[in-house]
């Protein structure tokens, strides 16, 4: 029972880190990055679809993102969704592709984005700690029911603490990297 609980805990903590990385990818750094728009919901064909299902992306220059729709009739819907988002860029199209020119970020905007990524990193840490608490509760229940001994419980709790510490350290490392990327001029 203990190995399964620890493996499940490790998996959930890893998923929290992966989710954080996806969120970090959506935070604009002043450079063109398809991750900023690929999850953007586009109202097409009677439903809302992520942009990554409707178009391909390329980055010919560091501050230019080119979106090439698979269906040319979706250009207007893509432009409308980008304008309605909080990206702060105006799309332009030539009838076949949509171009997004990302302006240089101001210092105030960079500091604002650092606060956003710190908040998201803190949310990921809270998630990791909640996973630890749930695992600890299930281990305590196993010990209470007599399925594991007190010594086994203590060893498992030490392993849980190590898993949590590793996940938090990984989150902090990714946060430091994203912070550096945001503050880079």
What is the average pLDDT value for the chain, to the nearest integer?
88
Q: Which residues of 78-96 are buried (b: 16+ CB within 10 A; e: fewer)?
A: bbebbeeeebebebeeeee
- What pLDDT shows up at residue 185? 64
Residues of the chain with pLDDT > 70: what percent?
98
- pLDDT tens for 28-43 read 666 777 888 888 888 8
| Average pLDDT for 53-72 | 89
- pLDDT tens for 66-101 read 999 998 888 998 898 888 877 777 888 888 999 988
CATH 3.30.1360.40 fits 43-101, yes or no: yes
Least confident interval from 18-27, 51-60, 131-140: 18-27
Cα torsion angle, 7, 8, 11, 17, sign: negative
With CA atoms as reference, report the closest residue to 136 among 160, 163, 152, 155: 160
What are the φ and ψ backbone dihedral angles of 131, each rounded to 5 degrees?
-65, -40
Pick the CATH number of 2-25+106-183 from 2.170.150.70, 3.40.50.720, 1.10.132.20, 3.40.605.10: 1.10.132.20
Q: Where are the alpha helices (DSSP H) in the chain?
A: 2-25, 75-84, 107-144, 150-183
Please report, for residues 8, 10, 51, 116, 164, the alpha-carbon distance to residue 168 in angstroms, rounded to integers and kept in the order given: 17, 12, 32, 18, 6
| Partners of 42 in the β-ladder | 49
What residue spans define the domains of the chain? Answer: 2-25+106-183, 43-101
Question: pLDDT at residue 136 above 90?
Answer: yes
Q: How confident is the model at residue 160 (pLDDT cuts 50, 70, 90)?
A: very high
CA 185 – CA 177 distance, rounded (Å):
14
- pLDDT tens for 105-116 read 788 888 888 898
pTM of the model: 0.72
């Amino acid at each position: 029972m203990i190995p399964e609980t620890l493996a499940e805990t490790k998996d959930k903590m890893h998923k929290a880190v992966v989710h954080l990385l996806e969120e970090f990818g959506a935070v604009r750094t002043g450079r063109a990055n398809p991750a900023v728009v690929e999850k953007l919901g586009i109202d097409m064909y009677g439903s809302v679809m992520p942009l990554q299902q409707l178009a391909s992306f390329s980055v010919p220059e560091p501050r230019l993102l080119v979106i090439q729709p698979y269906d040319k009739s979706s250009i207007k819907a893509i432009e409308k969704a980008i304008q309605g988002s909080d990206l702060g860029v105006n799309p332009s199209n030539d009838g076949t592709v949509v171009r997004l020119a990302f302006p240089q970020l101001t210092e105030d905007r960079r500091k604002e984005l650092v606060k956003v990524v710190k908040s998201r990193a803190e949310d990921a840490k809270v998630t990791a700690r909640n996973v630890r608490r749930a695992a600890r509760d299930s281990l305590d229940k196993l010990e209470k029911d007599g399925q594991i001994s007190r010594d086994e419980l203590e060893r498992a709790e030490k392993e849980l603490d190590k898993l949590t510490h590793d996940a938090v350290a990984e989150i902090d490392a990714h946060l430091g990297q994203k912070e550096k990327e945001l503050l880079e001029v």
